[in-house]
Amino acid sequence: MAERVKLFQESVIREMTRLGDETGAVNLSQGLPDFDPPQQVLDAAQKAIYGQQNQYTFPFGSLEFREAVAKKTSDANNISADPETEVTVTCGVSEAVMSTVLALTDPGDEVIIFEPWYENYVPDCYLAGVKPVFFEQQLPDYHIDFDRLEKLIHPKTRLIIINTPQNPNGKVFSSEELLNISKLCQKYGLIALSDEIYEHIYYDQNQHISPASVDGMKERTVTISGLGKTYSVTGWRVGWAVAPAELTGPIRKVHDYLTVCAPAPFQAAGIKALELPQSYYQEMRQKYALRRQLLLDALDKTGMIHYKPGGAYYVMVDFTRIQWDKELYKKSHWTDDRGFAEYLAREIGIAVVPGSSFYTGQNKGTNQVRFNFAKTRATLQKAVNRLKALTEI
């Protein structure tokens, strides 16, 4: 086994999905919806498949889809982009992140990652031979101390990864936070890698702001998003990276040799997805807000503490206030987040993700688990009914 592979483990999220399947638990672990995409998007995919759009596109995407991404990025993100030189279509957001890290860093460079983080970011760094540097956001509201953040920046710091809305905690970066990040990027010559896969999913008074739209950031930001979460097509693996031409060039080189191109018929269907009216996004947010409230109400009744997510479709929960009797504790080996997650799957019938998989170092996130509410109301209600068992402990 190569030394770089020894630095990280297999995906805990996917592992917990397998545990859920094994135990028959309701899957609130992996971020995949259990409902259908918009019918017109499915129809467009079928039409593309039967319309002979099944061969390679250009490695960086079909021109028609790149044009649709550029229009969407201008309209929704306030970022202008030339589809010929500044848009790269990738096999999902995960590949876009990996391609960007490989293209824009050298071995020995450093990448700043906000903690808690989506689990792919750290292995991406290790595979590229760069050092991940972690900035822990402070509970209860995942506060960012920018003086402390600035102290992490060194001559070898090359990238800072931003994820807004954030997985796993649902934090939405504010305009003030993004302005402060912009100042640091400009002061130290950093490039921002902005993962915005949940860009259309936000609640209450929150609004999504793309870092590249902030003054001084367009020329130093790679904006990454995709179809998967917004249109409930996580298995299609279609994403994109929007960046200045001088950053796009090396990203395209890496992408070409990693995957050649994203699935052609799903790029064609993606054009239809990006043409959906604003009412689609408004209705989607309303439905997710109702699902969020259903789960949060149930969690409140158990005594677990949570941060109310402002975006995405996850909730990070502190389970330490739940009371249990000593015999149950002994039987369940419920000593940390992994033990509690396995107890939930095997005894309660709900699959979640241990919180420590979103942190590095000892004793971080060990009192937390992540719930996902991208499910039908019927699925969530089944989970809510099972959560009632925790109130009886």
Over the stretch 232-277, which tens digit does the pLDDT of each residue have?
999 999 999 999 999 999 999 999 999 999 999 999 999 999 999 9
Task: Name the CATH superfamily housing domain 3-37+279-392.
Answer: Aspartate Aminotransferase, domain 1 (3.90.1150.10)
Mean of pLDDT over the chain? 93
Is 3-37+279-392's fold the same as 39-275's? no
| Distances from the Cα of 76 to the Cα of 69, 71, 207, 278, 324, angstroms | 10, 8, 11, 10, 48
| Distances from the Cα of 157 to the Cα of 111, 135, 331, 352, angstroms | 6, 13, 47, 34
pLDDT single digits (tens) 116-166:
999 899 999 999 999 999 999 999 899 999 999 999 999 999 999 999 999
Mean pLDDT, rounded, for 209-216: 97
Query: How many Cβ atoms from other residues are within 10 Å of residue 105's Cβ?
Result: 22
- Given a contact cutoff of 8 angstroms between Cβ atoms, the answer to whether 338 and 358 are in contact is no
pLDDT category at 17 given cuts 50, 70, 90 is confident
- DSSP 8-state secondary structure symbol assigned to residue 358: G
323 has pLDDT over 90: no
Q: Where are the domains of the chain?
A: 3-37+279-392, 39-275
How far is it, in rounded angstroms, from Cα 161 to Cα 125? 11
How far is it, in rounded angstroms, from Cα 57 to Cα 67? 14
- Fill in the amino acid letter for 52: Q
- Given a contact cutoff of 8 angstroms between Cβ atoms, the answer to whether 164 and 309 are in contact is no
Phi-psi region of 20 (alpha: psi -120 to 50; beta: other; left: phi over 0): alpha
What is the SS3 string spanning 266-315?
A: HHHHHHHHHCCCHHHHHHHHHHHHHHHHHHHHHHHHHCCEECCCCECCEE
Query: How many Cβ atoms from other residues are within 10 Å of residue 305's Cβ?
Result: 18
23 has pLDDT over 90: no
Mean pLDDT, rounded, for 25-49: 93
Q: Which residues contact 104 (CB under 8 A, 6 or more apart)?
A: 158, 159, 191, 193, 222, 247, 250, 251
pLDDT of residue 324: 54
How far is it, in rounded angstroms, from Cα 278 to Cα 76? 10
pLDDT category at 43 given cuts 50, 70, 90 is very high
Mean pLDDT, rounded, for 382-393: 84
Burial class (CB in 10 A: 0-12, 13-18, 19+), 61: buried
Spell out the CATH class of 39-275.
alpha beta
pLDDT of residue 325: 47
| Residue reference for tokens 């050649």 | 260
How far is it, in rounded angstroms, from Cα 161 to Cα 113? 5
> What strands, in cross-sheet order, belong to the sheet with 353-354?
305-306, 314-318, 368-372, 353-354
pLDDT of residue 326: 47
pLDDT category at 335 given cuts 50, 70, 90 is confident
Backbone angles phi, psi at 313, to 5 degrees: -140, 45
Q: Which residues contact 1 (CB under 8 A, 6 or more apart)?
A: none
Q: Taking Cα atoms as reference points, which of 114, 68, 84 lies closest to residue 270?
A: 68
The number of C-alpha atoms within 13 Å of 270 and in the hemisphere containing its C-beta is: 36
Locate 267 and state its tokens.
Answer: 């790029």
Q: Decide the pairing of beta strands 314-318 and 305-306.
A: antiparallel
Backbone angles phi, psi at 44, to 5 degrees: -65, -40
Q: Taking Cα atoms as reference points, which of 153, 147, 221 lies closest to residue 182?
A: 221
